[in-house]
Structure 1
Amino acid sequence: MEVKRRTARNLVAKLSSVSEQTRTEALCELRLISKHDPESQPLIADAGVVPYLSETLYGSSPTIQENAASTLLNLSITSRASLMSTRGFLDALSHALINSPSPSIESGQFGGPRCGSCFGGVDRQGCEDGDRGRRHDGAGADCGV
Protein backbone atom coordinates (compact mmCIF):
# COMPACT_ATOMS: atom_id res chain seq x y z
CA MET A 1 0.00 0.00 0.00
CA GLU A 2 2.92 2.32 0.69
CA VAL A 3 4.14 1.90 -2.89
CA LYS A 4 0.73 2.99 -4.19
CA ARG A 5 0.73 5.99 -1.85
CA ARG A 6 4.22 7.02 -2.98
CA THR A 7 3.25 6.57 -6.64
CA ALA A 8 0.18 8.75 -6.16
CA ARG A 9 2.24 11.48 -4.47
CA ASN A 10 4.87 11.41 -7.21
CA LEU A 11 2.31 11.63 -10.01
CA VAL A 12 0.44 14.46 -8.29
CA ALA A 13 3.72 16.32 -7.83
CA LYS A 14 4.34 16.02 -11.57
CA LEU A 15 1.08 17.88 -12.22
CA SER A 16 2.82 21.06 -11.07
CA SER A 17 5.65 20.65 -13.59
CA VAL A 18 6.39 23.43 -16.05
CA SER A 19 6.55 20.79 -18.78
CA GLU A 20 3.19 20.19 -20.42
CA GLN A 21 4.36 16.76 -21.55
CA THR A 22 5.23 15.77 -17.97
CA ARG A 23 1.85 17.01 -16.71
CA THR A 24 0.00 15.18 -19.49
CA GLU A 25 1.84 11.91 -18.87
CA ALA A 26 1.17 12.12 -15.13
CA LEU A 27 -2.48 12.92 -15.76
CA CYS A 28 -2.90 9.97 -18.14
CA GLU A 29 -1.26 7.66 -15.59
CA LEU A 30 -3.51 8.94 -12.81
CA ARG A 31 -6.56 8.35 -15.00
CA LEU A 32 -5.54 4.74 -15.67
CA ILE A 33 -4.67 4.02 -12.05
CA SER A 34 -7.91 5.55 -10.78
CA LYS A 35 -9.85 3.50 -13.31
CA HIS A 36 -8.21 0.12 -12.80
CA ASP A 37 -7.22 0.20 -9.12
CA PRO A 38 -10.05 1.26 -6.80
CA GLU A 39 -7.72 0.92 -3.78
CA SER A 40 -5.63 3.75 -5.19
CA GLN A 41 -8.53 6.19 -5.58
CA PRO A 42 -8.49 7.50 -1.99
CA LEU A 43 -4.68 7.58 -2.03
CA ILE A 44 -4.72 9.74 -5.15
CA ALA A 45 -7.31 12.07 -3.63
CA ASP A 46 -5.36 12.27 -0.35
CA ALA A 47 -2.23 13.18 -2.33
CA GLY A 48 -3.93 16.47 -3.22
CA VAL A 49 -4.85 15.87 -6.85
CA VAL A 50 -8.29 17.51 -6.85
CA PRO A 51 -7.13 21.17 -7.03
CA TYR A 52 -4.82 20.31 -9.94
CA LEU A 53 -7.57 18.46 -11.78
CA SER A 54 -10.06 21.24 -11.11
CA GLU A 55 -7.68 23.80 -12.57
CA THR A 56 -7.10 21.55 -15.58
CA LEU A 57 -10.82 21.64 -16.37
CA TYR A 58 -10.33 25.29 -17.36
CA GLY A 59 -7.71 24.32 -19.95
CA SER A 60 -8.15 24.46 -23.69
CA SER A 61 -6.65 21.06 -24.53
CA PRO A 62 -9.46 18.54 -25.09
CA THR A 63 -7.19 15.58 -24.29
CA ILE A 64 -5.99 17.02 -21.01
CA GLN A 65 -9.48 18.15 -20.07
CA GLU A 66 -10.95 14.70 -20.81
CA ASN A 67 -8.28 12.98 -18.73
CA ALA A 68 -8.89 15.34 -15.82
CA ALA A 69 -12.67 14.90 -16.03
CA SER A 70 -12.40 11.11 -16.22
CA THR A 71 -9.99 11.00 -13.30
CA LEU A 72 -12.36 13.14 -11.24
CA LEU A 73 -15.23 10.84 -12.16
CA ASN A 74 -13.21 7.81 -11.07
CA LEU A 75 -12.25 9.50 -7.80
CA SER A 76 -15.85 10.47 -7.09
CA ILE A 77 -16.65 6.80 -6.49
CA THR A 78 -14.60 6.60 -3.29
CA SER A 79 -13.54 10.17 -2.50
CA ARG A 80 -16.64 12.28 -3.00
CA ALA A 81 -16.02 14.32 0.17
CA SER A 82 -12.55 15.27 -1.03
CA LEU A 83 -13.98 16.54 -4.31
CA MET A 84 -16.86 18.44 -2.79
CA SER A 85 -14.69 20.10 -0.14
CA THR A 86 -12.14 21.39 -2.65
CA ARG A 87 -12.50 25.10 -3.18
CA GLY A 88 -13.40 25.89 -6.79
CA PHE A 89 -14.24 22.30 -7.80
CA LEU A 90 -17.90 22.96 -8.58
CA ASP A 91 -17.06 26.10 -10.56
CA ALA A 92 -14.46 24.19 -12.57
CA LEU A 93 -16.85 21.31 -13.21
CA SER A 94 -19.56 23.70 -14.32
CA HIS A 95 -17.11 25.50 -16.61
CA ALA A 96 -16.02 22.21 -18.20
CA LEU A 97 -19.58 21.09 -18.82
CA ILE A 98 -20.63 24.40 -20.35
CA ASN A 99 -17.48 25.40 -22.24
CA SER A 100 -15.88 22.09 -23.09
CA PRO A 101 -13.79 22.05 -26.26
CA SER A 102 -14.36 18.30 -26.23
CA PRO A 103 -17.69 16.89 -27.36
CA SER A 104 -17.20 13.77 -25.22
CA ILE A 105 -17.23 15.76 -21.98
CA GLU A 106 -20.37 17.69 -22.76
CA SER A 107 -22.20 14.74 -24.31
CA GLY A 108 -21.82 12.25 -21.52
CA GLN A 109 -18.22 11.24 -20.89
CA PHE A 110 -18.42 13.18 -17.65
CA GLY A 111 -21.57 15.25 -17.93
CA GLY A 112 -25.22 14.43 -17.66
CA PRO A 113 -26.38 11.64 -15.36
CA ARG A 114 -22.86 10.50 -14.50
CA CYS A 115 -22.17 13.87 -12.98
CA GLY A 116 -24.56 12.85 -10.21
CA SER A 117 -21.99 10.44 -8.83
CA CYS A 118 -19.96 13.47 -7.78
CA PHE A 119 -22.85 14.84 -5.77
CA GLY A 120 -24.00 11.75 -3.92
CA GLY A 121 -27.59 12.24 -2.86
CA VAL A 122 -28.96 13.01 -6.31
CA ASP A 123 -31.80 10.82 -7.50
CA ARG A 124 -30.91 10.27 -11.14
CA GLN A 125 -34.17 8.58 -12.12
CA GLY A 126 -35.48 11.61 -14.03
CA CYS A 127 -32.17 12.39 -15.67
CA GLU A 128 -32.66 9.92 -18.47
CA ASP A 129 -35.84 11.70 -19.48
CA GLY A 130 -34.15 15.08 -19.52
CA ASP A 131 -35.99 16.02 -16.32
CA ARG A 132 -34.42 17.56 -13.30
CA GLY A 133 -33.12 15.18 -10.67
CA ARG A 134 -34.02 15.80 -7.06
CA ARG A 135 -31.69 15.68 -4.11
CA HIS A 136 -32.90 13.67 -1.16
CA ASP A 137 -33.27 16.96 0.74
CA GLY A 138 -35.77 18.15 -1.89
CA ALA A 139 -33.53 20.71 -3.55
CA GLY A 140 -33.27 20.63 -7.32
CA ALA A 141 -30.15 19.32 -9.00
CA ASP A 142 -29.71 19.77 -12.70
CA CYS A 143 -28.71 16.43 -14.20
CA GLY A 144 -27.71 17.54 -17.64
CA VAL A 145 -26.30 20.48 -19.50
Structure 2
Amino acid sequence: MLYPIAIEKTMFEGKTVYGVVVPDLLGCVAVGDSYQEAYDNAIEAIGLHLEGMNEDNEEIPFPKTIDDYIYHIDYQGMIWATVEIDLSPYMGKVEKVNITLPQSLLHRIDKKILGNKSYYRSRSHYLSELAFRDLSSSHSF
Protein backbone atom coordinates (compact mmCIF):
# COMPACT_ATOMS: atom_id res chain seq x y z
CA MET A 1 0.00 0.00 0.00
CA LEU A 2 1.15 3.53 -0.71
CA TYR A 3 0.85 5.84 2.28
CA PRO A 4 1.12 9.58 1.53
CA ILE A 5 3.58 11.57 3.62
CA ALA A 6 3.86 15.35 3.98
CA ILE A 7 7.39 16.71 4.35
CA GLU A 8 8.19 20.16 5.69
CA LYS A 9 11.57 21.84 5.45
CA THR A 10 12.23 24.13 8.40
CA MET A 11 14.98 25.73 10.45
CA PHE A 12 15.67 24.40 13.94
CA GLU A 13 18.45 25.84 16.11
CA GLY A 14 20.11 27.39 13.08
CA LYS A 15 20.09 24.33 10.82
CA THR A 16 17.77 22.93 8.19
CA VAL A 17 15.69 19.92 9.24
CA TYR A 18 12.91 18.00 7.54
CA GLY A 19 9.81 16.92 9.41
CA VAL A 20 7.44 14.24 8.13
CA VAL A 21 3.78 13.73 8.97
CA VAL A 22 1.79 10.63 7.98
CA PRO A 23 -1.81 11.90 7.74
CA ASP A 24 -3.38 8.43 7.69
CA LEU A 25 -1.62 7.43 10.92
CA LEU A 26 -2.43 9.92 13.65
CA GLY A 27 0.69 10.72 15.65
CA CYS A 28 3.11 9.08 13.22
CA VAL A 29 5.95 11.53 12.55
CA ALA A 30 9.63 11.45 11.62
CA VAL A 31 12.50 13.91 11.20
CA GLY A 32 15.81 14.02 9.39
CA ASP A 33 18.70 16.32 8.57
CA SER A 34 18.07 15.77 4.84
CA TYR A 35 15.07 15.00 2.69
CA GLN A 36 16.31 11.44 2.12
CA GLU A 37 16.98 10.84 5.82
CA ALA A 38 13.50 12.12 6.72
CA TYR A 39 11.96 9.88 4.04
CA ASP A 40 13.89 6.83 5.27
CA ASN A 41 12.98 7.62 8.88
CA ALA A 42 9.31 7.91 7.86
CA ILE A 43 9.40 4.34 6.53
CA GLU A 44 10.76 3.13 9.87
CA ALA A 45 8.25 5.25 11.84
CA ILE A 46 5.33 3.86 9.83
CA GLY A 47 6.47 0.30 10.46
CA LEU A 48 6.78 0.93 14.20
CA HIS A 49 3.42 2.70 14.30
CA LEU A 50 1.66 -0.15 12.48
CA GLU A 51 3.37 -2.68 14.72
CA GLY A 52 2.03 -0.86 17.77
CA MET A 53 -1.45 -0.67 16.28
CA ASN A 54 -1.35 -4.40 15.58
CA GLU A 55 -0.21 -5.18 19.14
CA ASP A 56 -3.06 -3.01 20.49
CA ASN A 57 -5.56 -4.76 18.17
CA GLU A 58 -6.35 -1.47 16.44
CA GLU A 59 -7.65 -1.38 12.89
CA ILE A 60 -5.01 -0.68 10.27
CA PRO A 61 -6.26 2.29 8.21
CA PHE A 62 -6.41 2.03 4.46
CA PRO A 63 -4.22 4.80 2.98
CA LYS A 64 -5.92 7.69 1.28
CA THR A 65 -4.35 9.55 -1.64
CA ILE A 66 -2.30 12.73 -1.67
CA ASP A 67 -5.31 14.40 -3.33
CA ASP A 68 -7.32 13.75 -0.15
CA TYR A 69 -4.90 15.92 1.86
CA ILE A 70 -3.06 18.29 -0.47
CA TYR A 71 -5.41 21.25 0.04
CA HIS A 72 -5.93 20.69 3.78
CA ILE A 73 -4.83 23.70 5.80
CA ASP A 74 -2.58 21.59 8.06
CA TYR A 75 -0.41 20.60 5.10
CA GLN A 76 -0.09 23.85 3.15
CA GLY A 77 3.39 24.38 1.70
CA MET A 78 4.53 20.82 2.38
CA ILE A 79 6.16 18.50 -0.13
CA TRP A 80 4.28 15.26 -0.82
CA ALA A 81 5.59 11.77 -1.42
CA THR A 82 4.33 8.23 -0.99
CA VAL A 83 5.86 5.40 0.98
CA GLU A 84 5.22 1.81 -0.05
CA ILE A 85 4.39 -0.32 2.97
CA ASP A 86 3.74 -4.06 2.95
CA LEU A 87 0.83 -4.41 5.37
CA SER A 88 0.91 -8.21 5.52
CA PRO A 89 3.12 -8.34 8.67
CA TYR A 90 0.51 -6.27 10.51
CA MET A 91 -2.57 -8.20 9.41
CA GLY A 92 -2.17 -11.34 11.50
CA LYS A 93 -1.07 -14.89 10.91
CA VAL A 94 -0.98 -16.15 7.32
CA GLU A 95 -3.43 -18.91 6.55
CA LYS A 96 -3.25 -21.13 3.48
CA VAL A 97 -6.49 -21.57 1.51
CA ASN A 98 -7.45 -23.45 -1.63
CA ILE A 99 -9.41 -21.47 -4.22
CA THR A 100 -10.83 -22.31 -7.61
CA LEU A 101 -10.64 -19.84 -10.50
CA PRO A 102 -11.37 -20.10 -14.21
CA GLN A 103 -8.20 -20.82 -16.18
CA SER A 104 -8.51 -17.69 -18.32
CA LEU A 105 -8.81 -15.51 -15.21
CA LEU A 106 -5.79 -17.19 -13.66
CA HIS A 107 -3.76 -16.51 -16.82
CA ARG A 108 -4.81 -12.85 -16.73
CA ILE A 109 -3.78 -12.61 -13.07
CA ASP A 110 -0.39 -14.16 -13.86
CA LYS A 111 0.10 -11.73 -16.75
CA LYS A 112 -0.74 -8.81 -14.45
CA ILE A 113 1.76 -10.04 -11.85
CA LEU A 114 4.52 -10.49 -14.46
CA GLY A 115 3.91 -6.96 -15.72
CA ASN A 116 4.16 -5.57 -12.18
CA LYS A 117 6.90 -7.68 -10.56
CA SER A 118 8.20 -4.66 -8.68
CA TYR A 119 4.88 -4.48 -6.81
CA TYR A 120 3.22 -7.92 -6.80
CA ARG A 121 5.30 -10.74 -5.36
CA SER A 122 2.90 -13.60 -6.07
CA ARG A 123 -0.68 -14.59 -6.84
CA SER A 124 -1.41 -14.55 -3.12
CA HIS A 125 0.00 -11.05 -2.75
CA TYR A 126 -2.01 -9.81 -5.73
CA LEU A 127 -5.27 -11.33 -4.47
CA SER A 128 -4.71 -10.11 -0.91
CA GLU A 129 -4.03 -6.56 -2.14
CA LEU A 130 -7.25 -6.57 -4.17
CA ALA A 131 -9.23 -7.99 -1.27
CA PHE A 132 -7.77 -5.45 1.15
CA ARG A 133 -8.67 -2.55 -1.16
CA ASP A 134 -12.19 -3.85 -1.70
CA LEU A 135 -12.82 -4.55 1.98
CA SER A 136 -11.31 -1.23 3.00
CA SER A 137 -13.79 0.94 1.16
CA SER A 138 -14.57 2.46 4.57
CA HIS A 139 -10.83 3.29 4.84
CA SER A 140 -10.13 0.95 7.76
CA PHE A 141 -9.16 -2.70 8.08
Fold in common (TM above 0.5): no
Is the radius of gyration larger for structure 1 or structure 2? 2
TM-score range, shorter chain: 0.3 to 0.5
User: Quick check: which one's strand share is greater?
Assistant: 2
TM-score, length-scaled by structure 1:
0.32
